[in-house]
Amino acid sequence: MVGTGFAFRLSDESKPVFVTALHLLGTVNGLEKDLLPNELSESIDSTFLSDVFGATDGVKQIGMPYQPCDPEDENEAIEADVVAFDLVGRFKPEFLELSDETVQPGQRLWMVTAVFAGASPSQKCHAVKVSDVENGRIQYRFENERLSLKATDGAPLLFDSGLVAGMHQGGTADETQGVSGYGITSDALRRAIESMCLGRSSGEFER
């Protein structure tokens, strides 16, 4: 899988999760079909991550993906395009914090990840200007019109405060229109995670 993700807790008492875009587990990364949330445990044997900024060496294994608590909750993850993994193992990322602030059109946010081209590999934050917010979905334009969005799906979108405003899930580059992106708000992300059974151990998902 080629993409980005980040880790957080819903609350101080909840288990930490690693989240990314669900569509990355599908045809966009060479699979025969797009996997549904209830198919993940039967299709994934193991998951490994590496630090996008090289703060840790090599790759580290994490746990299995969480499933919806109820089959009817599957649509929540599908519509939000979110998958969450159990953060067991040696991978110890920095935890971000979800914001309760509402994203507004015209607001500046920051996509946080390394990019393949258009900016220095060491640059962590890439500014976007929100153009539209509706039903938990965000559309925005990047200030850097040369930015490559390769492997950025799943990256966090942050407010100036450093709190999570949402998740970047894709975008396009056009010679005349520049670089645009889209994603979901932190509220939509929170609802998707709350629909998953975080209380189950990762071993329950192994085949």
Give the per-residue pLDDT at 55: 58
pTM of the predicted protein model? 0.89
Give the per-residue pLDDT at 202: 41
CA dist., res. 83 & res. 65, Å (int) = 7
Give the per-residue pLDDT at 140: 98
C-alpha pair distances (Å), 21 with each of 55, 79, 82, 120:
22, 11, 5, 24
Calculate the dihedral angle through the C-alpha atoms of 34, 86, 57, 31, rounding to the nearest 10 degrees: -10
Domains in the chain: ranges and CATH: 6-96+190-205 (no CATH), 108-188 (2.40.10.10)
> Please, which residues have CB within 8 angstroms of residue 123's CB and are 6 or more apart in sequence?
114, 115
Give the per-residue pLDDT at 122: 82
Give the per-residue pLDDT at 89: 67
CA dist., res. 95 & res. 111, Å (int) = 16
Q: Starting from the edge strand earliest in sequence, which strands make up the sheet with 95-96, in order?
A: 82-86, 17-21, 6-8, 95-96
**In tens digits, what is the pLDDT along the chain, a chain of 207 residues?**
578 999 999 988 888 899 999 999 988 887 888 888 888 888 888 888 877 776 556 778 888 899 888 877 888 999 999 999 998 766 778 899 999 999 999 999 999 998 888 888 789 999 999 999 999 999 999 999 999 999 899 999 999 999 999 999 999 988 888 999 999 999 999 999 999 877 654 444 333
CA dist., res. 144 & res. 167, Å (int) = 19
CA dist., res. 18 & res. 85, Å (int) = 5
Strands (E), 135-187: 137-142, 156-158, 164-174, 178-185
Give the per-residue pLDDT at 200: 52
* DSSP β-bridge partners for residue 167: 156, 184
